[in-house]
Amino acid sequence: MSCIFCHIAAGKSDTTLIEYENDNIVIFKDIRPASDFHYLAVPKKHMKNVRSCTLNDKDLIIEMKNELRNFLNTKNVNLDDVSYGFHWPPFTSIDHLHLHAIAPASKMGFIQRIVFKPIDMWYCSPEYVLANLKPAPE
């Protein structure tokens, strides 16, 4: 298993990283947080990146955002100050689909605001992804 996120999602990491899981996804802290709260929602099944998603993955993308939102709510995070987004290839550091949730977005530094700028050529919102999903190839 060479994918680090597959390794983490399977519970095979050296430390207990997973803070939430269900049948489809896991949630854990980003190793380089951009603000006080920075978590990733990662599917348990390997999916290369957001560009590989199709209409068949619509429910998964919705679930990833909803579960991150619910998780942040348990941490008493102001849900009006959260940035959710996917990095768009080739601007991905890990080739496994993952959704960022960063809060408070208003506390991100200058560089983080560039790296995690919504609706940009390298970082896009779940809503943008959902609106641009294509049918699965036959």
Given a cut of 70, whether residue 120 has pLDDT beyond it is no
What end-to-end distance do the CA atoms of the chain give, in Å? 28
Fold for 4-131, please state it. Answer: HIT family, subunit A (3.30.428)
Domain boundaries, the chain: 4-131
Pair 94, 4: CB distance under 8 Å: yes
Instruction: Compute CA distances 137 → 6, 56, 90, whole Å.
Output: 24, 10, 21
What's the pLDDT tens digit per position in 2-29? 888 888 888 877 656 889 999 999 999 9
Of residues 133 and 14, more confidence is placed in 133
What's the pLDDT tens digit per position in 51-101? 899 999 999 999 999 999 999 999 999 999 999 999 887 677 788 899 999
Pair 97, 45: CB distance under 8 Å: no
Active-site residue flag, 96: no
- Neighbouring CB atoms inside 10 A of 138's CB total 3
Can you give the pTM of this predicted structure? 0.92
Given a cut of 60, whether residue 1 has pLDDT beyond it is no
What is the predicted pLDDT for the residue at 3? 87
β-strand partners of 1: none
What's the pLDDT tens digit per position in 31-56? 999 999 999 999 999 999 898 999 99
Catalytic residue among 38, 87, 96, 98: 98
